[in-house]
A and B are shown apart, each in its own frame.
Chain A
Amino acid sequence: MVHRAQAGHPGGSLSEIDLMAALYQTTLRVRPEEPDWDDRDRFILSKGHASPGMYAILAEMGFISVEDLESYRVLGGICQGHVDMKWCPGVDFSAGSLGMGLSFGMGSAIAGRLEGSERQIYVMLGDGEIQEGSVWEAAMAAAHHELGNLNVILDRNRIQNDDFCEAQMRMFDIPAKWKAFGWNVKEIDGHNMEEIVDGLGFLKNTNDGPSILIAHTVKGHGVSFMADNPAFHGAAPNDEQYAQAMAELGEVVA
């Protein structure tokens, strides 16, 4: 997708993909044949620039077709540059600007509670994203309202647009921050499937307040020259790099 469009965000798509695959395969209550099913669980990709990862999952799940992936960043295509609920089936939130998804998820969680629904709300945040102040407005409010159906997966890939997070804005003790805001916190290796599935169970079954799974990931995971490399936050591979990346990921390039 990113290679074809020659634009997009491969690094964050590769860091989140194991988490998202496990979420959709093991936990999320959704119906690809009925994407607007009222009582579905909600998945809110707040780091909406990492859309290629989500589109790949939506195609795998059958919400959209594999051919639809060719519409990524193409005029009129359902796969907009940032995931958009008005364009793409299976997308619950129109993302784009960072720091917005958790607040939207809080509204979705309150709606679920008002309806007496069992549905769970999952919000994926990036680690750079939590530098946005409004994330903490939402974190404080969600704990105040004891929203046990609200869950965050934090893609802790340690890289943001310009550089490593550590260089751009140190965030110090991230788990302690969320704990201090009244959240249930668990840390996992975001590429270890056993730990991921265990962590998703923690989110689903911890309902005395909002919960966060801090997943330690590698930006550009699975592609040697992208891994842990800030240059591939928002850059497309060239033809040669694309061939190498797909070979490393075990995909056959047509």
Chain B
Amino acid sequence: MTNMAATRDGYGQALLELASNPKVVVLEADLGKSTKSLHFRKAHPERTVSCGIGEQNMLLVGAGLAASGYIPFASTFAIFTERAFEQMRNGVARPNLAVHVCGSHGGTHTGTDGSSAQSIEDLAIYRTLPNVIVMHPSDIVSTKILTMQLAETGSPSYTRTARNKTPVLYEGRENEIKIGKGIVLKEGADVAIVACGVMVSQSIEAAEALAAEGINATVVDMHTLKPLDGALIDRLVASCGAIVTAEDHNVIGGLGGAVAEYMTSNTYAPLERVGVQDRFGESGQADEMLEVMQISTPYIAEAAKRAIARKG
């Protein structure tokens, strides 16, 4: 039985570990119970700033703190970070102030809250900002490790976490996790499935289904969308000759977009993008949403076959 845990809890654990650095401060917008910053608040109320339900203000409070030598971590739902996009652009990214934004409850996987809460564009919009690191980790362990590494980067960042539990993949493998480095979870020569977030475990299942049909797939956890691990993409193109991307995000501008942009200028292989087909979601359970959005395991396997069929 696979252990299950939510990536947002990895974020909460990381903040607690980071608290030993007195420069780390936490900003909340009335969702600390949900994003899991509440543990930090309980332990270090003097370094936790409630910004009320005011995300635009929160990001710039972070900028002011960062400009004064602090390391602010600000969290809210992924969708609510978006209303502060211009603050992120002009007040954080442009002066390159290391404010770390965590958007929890991202993607259609967030479920029954419905389409207004299901951010399917967050990764795309933050990827367009110079200086900003963009990540969407797949499990609780990698979320914790990557969040802790952010404090050392000196760069602003956006990290999407998920509300619902996903399989724990990296227990005892903490040393393999590094910002900007994709992780090869499974090796196979026929096709490479490059996934992020909740879609990583779906992709592992897809690879197992493909193996039963005699198709060998590589599976990569591309937790960092920016900077993208281009060297790994090059290697996958050379070794597999066909690529599938899988994300709980619009097919426009997210991981699929990032890989397509990279391959256009560097190397070529047939690419199939599994993701939300440029439409909004609805209320439903997490697993139901992956079906409705046609991004669950069978759809990844089908995309893999299409990519293989397109090989020259």
A residues sitting closer than 8 Å to B (CB atoms) are 38, 84-86, 92-94, 96-97, 99-100, 103-112, 114-115, 133-134, 137-138, 140-141, 144-145
Contacts and interface: CB of A to CB of B under 8 A. Distances in A.
Contacts of A114: 25, 46-47, 70
A107 B94 contact: no
Contacts of B65: 107-108, 110-111
Given A86-B96, A140-B54, A107 B90 contact: no
A141 B95 contact: no
20 contacts: A84-B95, A85-B95, A94-B91, A99-B56, A100-B60, A103-B91, A104-B64, A104-B91, A106-B57, A107-B63, A107-B67, A108-B65, A111-B64, A133-B56, A134-B54, A134-B87, A138-B54, A140-B52, A141-B50, A144-B52
Given A38-B69, A114-B47, A134-B87, A106 B64 contact: yes
B62 interface: yes
Given A114-B70, A134-B87, A107 B64 contact: yes
Nearest to B99: A107
Given A94-B94, A100-B60, A134-B87, 18 more contacts: A93-B67, A94-B95, A99-B56, A100-B87, A103-B60, A103-B91, A104-B61, A104-B67, A106-B57, A106-B60, A107-B72, A108-B67, A110-B49, A134-B54, A137-B56, A138-B57, A138-B61, A141-B50
A107 B68 contact: yes
Given A100-B87, A100-B91, A107-B62, A141 B68 contact: no
Main secondary structure of the interface of A (DSSP, over half): helix
A106 B49 CA distance: 11
Most buried by A among B51, B57, B67: B57
Contacts of A134: 54, 56-57, 60, 87
A105 B60 CA distance: 8
**Which range holds the interface residue count of chain B?**
20 to 34
Given A97-B86, A104-B63, A145 B49 contact: yes
A47 to B, nearest CB: 14
Contacts of A138: 54, 57, 60-61
Interface in B28-68: 46-47, 49-52, 54, 56-68
Nearest to B91: A100
A247 B171 CA distance: 75
B52 A100 contact: no
B69 A107 contact: no
Contacts of B96: 86
Nearest to A140: B52
A24 to B, nearest CB: 20
A94 B57 contact: no
A145 to B, nearest CB: 7
A46 B57 CA distance: 14
Contacts of A105: 64
Nearest to A133: B56
B67 A110 contact: no
B57 A96 contact: no
A141 B54 contact: yes
Interface string B285-310: 00000000000000000000000000
